[in-house]
Structure formats: structure tokens, C-alpha cells
Amino acid sequence: MSFVLLLLAMTVHELSHGIVAYWLGDDTAKRAGRLTLNPIPHIDLYWTLLFPGILYFATGGRFMIGMAKPVPVDISRLRNPKRDMILVSLAGPSANIMMAAILAFFFNMTHNEWVLSGIYMNLGLGVFNLVPLPPLDGSRILAGLLPAPWTVRFLRVERFGFLLILFLYFTGLLMPWVRMGMDFSCLLLRVPTLTQWLTH
């Protein structure tokens, strides 16, 4: 059930990127068949299966996050490439945070633990993707704010992104920041924090 909730969160995340890109002039995701709630086209071997699996076993099955296969975006097709890339990048995390807020409303009525798990999946995915490391959405947002020459250099790191994120995870430098962002969001939504959930 946890993986189903995560897969739904990842699918909504990528679909949101594609929809906003389409609204802003780029139909690449639509032509690639990625504007769909069917999770299969969004599955990625490393981010959707391997990374969540590592987190699942590391927390005894209590928490995992990951990513779907990134939706293709052709920045040259966007009407205002620099600005619109920021908006496209923000769309995925924003969708997850909105889903978490909706689920929090139902959790505060039902106190159902699966609903709470869905909140954590969406907040985890949203906060994790805002970390400014390629290929996460936060790196695209930062790249859109940097001067053009710096943007090119910064995005060259992307080919090593998966290894870099694994390194930061295993050295304990990544997840404390993600958990801090999730716990703060949980306080705003008036639901138990992830730290409370993992230690109760």
C-alpha cells in the first residue's frame, strides 16, 4: 500500500510538470504520452524503484520517497524560457504539497494512518524535489535564477546527480534537511510530524 501511495504521488508530480509546460507552450510531454495518470509511463528504474527501496528498508518499512521518470520539457518551446522553466519546475512540488493539504483535511477527520502515510509521501516528494541538486526540481529553479553562463555550468552536474544524491543520503547530509522541511509542513497542516511518527 505504501508503494501505491508513493506511485500516485510521483505520477501527480510528473503530470503537473507536463501540464504546466503544455500551458506555457511546450507540448513535448503530451506527444510523449506523459500527460496521463497511468503510472506505468512514469516509472524509472533508479528513482522509482531503487531509491525508494533503499529508504523503505532503511526505515523498517515506515518511510520512503523517490521520483518518477522526469517529464521531457523542451525549454526552447516555452514562451519565456527562463521564467517558464521555473514555473514548470515548481509545478510538481506544489502539486504534492496541495495533495498533502487535502489529505491532511481528511486525516484530521478520520485519523486514518494510511491517509497520514499519504501525507508523508507527498510532503517528502515535494520537499525532496526542492533540494537544489540536479536533477531535482530545486536545481531547475536555481538554474532559472542564475546568470546564463552559470546555469550551463551548474546543470553539467546532472549526469552525476543520482550518485551525488546517494552519496549525500548515505553520509547523512541529505535526509535531515528533508525531514526538517517535512516536519515544518506537518506543523502547518496540524498533523503529526514525520519525526513523531518514526519515533512513536
Q: Comparing 102 with 149, which gets the higher pLDDT?
A: 102
Structurally, how many domains does the chain consist of? 1
113 is catalytic: no
Q: Which of 18-22, 129-133, 147-151 has the lowest mean pLDDT?
A: 147-151
Please determine, for residue 189, whether its predicted confidence score (pLDDT) is greater than 80. yes
Instruction: Quickly tell me which residue has 504520452 as its cell.
Output: 33
CB-based contacts of 179: which residues, under 8 Å, 6+ apart? 194, 195
Are 166 and 101 in contact, with CB atoms under 8 Å apart? no
Residues 77-86, buried b or exposed e (16+ Cβ, 10 A)?
ebeebeebbb
Q: What is the pTM of this model?
A: 0.88
Least confident segment among 5-19, 46-60, 109-123, 169-183: 46-60
Residue-range definition of the domain harbouring residue 49: 2-199
Active-site residue (options: 7, 9, 13, 14)? 14
In angstroms, rounded to a whole number, what is the distance separating the alpha carbons of residues 100 and 190?
A: 11
Q: What is the pLDDT of residues 59-73, one digit of tens each?
A: 776 666 777 888 999
